[in-house]
């Protein structure tokens, strides 16, 4: 509302007149004995409360109303005009029936209501237009605004233990700007940077404070607190944040098989144990050699110490022979993260043999051991074969140089020249000795139908150990009548005789 609501078109020439009438000399000439009292020089009020501005008059200044203006000059604003008053407005007269008390009440004062308020007496000029007759000294109103409840915010994504993440505390709409901020974790003070305070268009202030927090595994039940102190507050304001909202603790996954190894056609229970994870949202699936099989959770996530959770899942597998060596995998997806896996192998034992089946699939470590053992055994076998070959070769060479006796067919007589010679009638005797070469003596009977071979040793035989045997192979013996044995030679000789009958 403007000072001249009835004739806005005359505001341009009326303003200099208003300033002129405000001079003391003009006031004295307009009327004697009129006074206007505005005793409040400064008033401080808290936002949301009611503001009371006092104004009283005395004496008679002639027709005209008493109004309240905020500010003076071109930037003034009408706060109260009895001729255009709205009952629903925040401004009311303290004594509506009084002609001397023009005190007003302003409800629900806000920071934007800060400024200087003037109580002004208007009179009708010669042209019938209201003119300023008298104004008060003005009341400077200061509004103390309480800060809004602190709001603590954290990162948008969850973080793992040992990660350092920022948290921010914000508040606004307060006046004056002197404000203090403190941070606590589980009632333990924390060090933070100085707060940043900025002024808004509403002449109030806003504050922002940031603190860095290194998350711990046991922070699922921890609380972060921001405490704000301001002159308008009887007690500090606090904002809190549960660290569980940004904490993620991945589970440890372990798979166990019972019994292991298992008998054929028995049931093996595989248990997947998830330990100390947060939050509780987790899903489990079972795989047999990469193919999904059906399992069941023994219970929902159970809360354990420090606010963390654990979970058990189970699957049963029939221990058939074709499944021996199968890999059973527990796949865990926690809080939408990448899957975590753990596996166990299905081993089957043969109860009749009392050991593991020979057909089981070996893992890489066992396979490596078997390969190494096989290579070592092969090398040893080749070495033994080489040694045996060398020994055999040496024996053959030694055998060629050993003493021997060979029986040759005697020269044929003129009587037998007409007979056909039979190669099967050739007779050989090889006598091998280990130590030394022995001399050979051939004895030929007078009869041309017999051949004799004698071998004389260097020493006379002393016992059975000195007996010499001759294996005569490929000897063709005839059925001719026996002839007397040849004359024995010296005692130190050995004899071998073969009789061949001439056809």
Q: Report the range of poorest mean pLDDT among 232-236, 427-431, 443-447, 456-460.
A: 443-447
DSSP string for 393-419: HHHHHHHHTS--B---PPPPPGGGTTS
**Rounded distance, CA 142 to CA 482, Å?**
162
In this model, does residue 468 exceed pLDDT 50? no
**Rounded distance, CA 149 to CA 472, Å?**
125
In this model, does residue 224 exceed pLDDT 50? yes
Percent of all residues in the chain with a pLDDT value above 70, rounded to a whole number: 69
Whether 244 and 279 have beta carbons less than 8 Å apart is answered as: yes
The CA angle 409-411-414, to the nearest 5 degrees, is 130
In this model, does residue 292 exceed pLDDT 50? yes
* Residue 266 confidence (pLDDT): 92
In this model, does residue 188 exceed pLDDT 50? yes
**Rounded distance, CA 478 to CA 476, Å?**
7
The whole model's pTM is what?
Answer: 0.55
Find the mean pLDDT for residues 109-113. Answer: 89
* Residue 400 confidence (pLDDT): 57
SS3 content of the chain, % helix, strand, coil (to 5): 15, 40, 45
Summarize pLDDT for 321-377 with one digit per residue, the tens. 999 999 999 999 999 999 999 999 999 987 444 444 444 444 556 677 888 888 888
Local confidence band at 30 (pLDDT 50, 70, 90 cut-offs):
very low
**Rounded distance, CA 225 to CA 211, Å?**
11
Whether 107 and 8 have beta carbons less than 8 Å apart is answered as: no
Higher local confidence (pLDDT), 212 or 489 = 212
Summarize pLDDT for 410-446 with one digit per residue, the tens. 444 444 434 444 444 444 444 444 444 444 444 444 4
Q: Report the range of poorest mean pLDDT among 216-225, 258-267, 418-427.
A: 418-427
Strands 355-356 and 267-277: unpaired
């Amino acid at each position: 509302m403007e000072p001249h609501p009835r004739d806005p078109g005359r505001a341009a020439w009326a303003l200099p007149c208003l300033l002129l009438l405000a001079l003391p000399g003009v006031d004295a000439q307009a009327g004697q004995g009129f006074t206007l009292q505005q005793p409040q020089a400064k008033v401080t009020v808290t936002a949301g409360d009611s503001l009371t501005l006092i104004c009283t008059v005395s004496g008679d200044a002639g027709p005209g109303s008493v109004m309240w203006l905020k500010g003076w000059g071109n930037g003034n604003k009408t706060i109260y005009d009895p001729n255009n008053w709205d009952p629903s407005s925040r401004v009311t007269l303290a004594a509506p029936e009084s002609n001397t008390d023009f005190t007003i009440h302003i409800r629900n004062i806000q920071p934007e209501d800060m400024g200087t308020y003037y109580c002004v007496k208007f009179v009708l000029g010669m042209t019938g237009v209201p003119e300023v007759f008298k104004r008060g000294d003005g009341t400077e109103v200061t509004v103390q605004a309480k800060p809004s409840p602190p709001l603590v915010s954290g990162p948008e994504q969850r973080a793992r233990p040992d990660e350092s993440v920022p948290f921010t505390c914000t508040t606004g709409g307060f006046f004056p700007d002197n404000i203090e901020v403190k941070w606590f974790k589980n009632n333990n003070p924390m060090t933070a940077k100085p707060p940043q305070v900025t002024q808004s268009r509403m002449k109030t202030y806003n504050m922002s404070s940031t603190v860095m927090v290194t998350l711990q595994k046991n922070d699922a039940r921890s609380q972060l607190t921001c405490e704000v102190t301001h002159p308008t507050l009887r007690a500090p304001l606090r904002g809190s944040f549960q660290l569980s909202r940004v904490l993620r603790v991945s589970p440890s996954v372990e798979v166990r098989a019972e019994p292991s190894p298992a008998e054929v056609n028995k049931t093996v229970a595989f248990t997947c144990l998830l330990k100390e994870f947060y939050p509780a949202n987790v899903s489990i699936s079972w795989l047999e050699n990469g193919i999904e099989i059906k399992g069941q959770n023994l219970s929902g996530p159970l809360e354990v110490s420090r606010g963390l959770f654990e979970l058990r899942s189970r699957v049963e597998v029939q221990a058939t022979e074709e499944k021996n060596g199968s890999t059973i995998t527990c796949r865990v997806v926690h809080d939408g993260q990448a899957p975590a896996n753990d596996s166990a192998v299905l081993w089957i034992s043969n109860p009749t043999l009392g050991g593991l089946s020979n057909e089981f699939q070996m893992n890489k470590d066992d396979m490596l051991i078997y390969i190494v053992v096989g290579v070592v055994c092969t090398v040893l076998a080749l070495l033994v074969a080489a040694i045996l070959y060398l020994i055999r070769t040496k024996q053959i060479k030694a055998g060629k140089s050993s003493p021997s006796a060979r029986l040759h067919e005697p020269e044929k007589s003129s009587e037998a020249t007409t007979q056909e010679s039979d190669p099967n009638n050739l007779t050989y005797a090889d006598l091998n000795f280990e130590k030394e070469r022995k001399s050979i003596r051939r004895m030929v009977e007078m009869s041309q139908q017999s051949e004799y071979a004698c071998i004389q040793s260097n020493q006379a035989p002393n016992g059975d150990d000195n007996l010499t045997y001759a294996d005569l192979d490929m000897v063709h013996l005839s059925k001719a009548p026996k002839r007397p044995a040849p004359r024995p030679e010296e005692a130190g000789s050995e004899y071998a005789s073969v009789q061949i009958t001439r056809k």
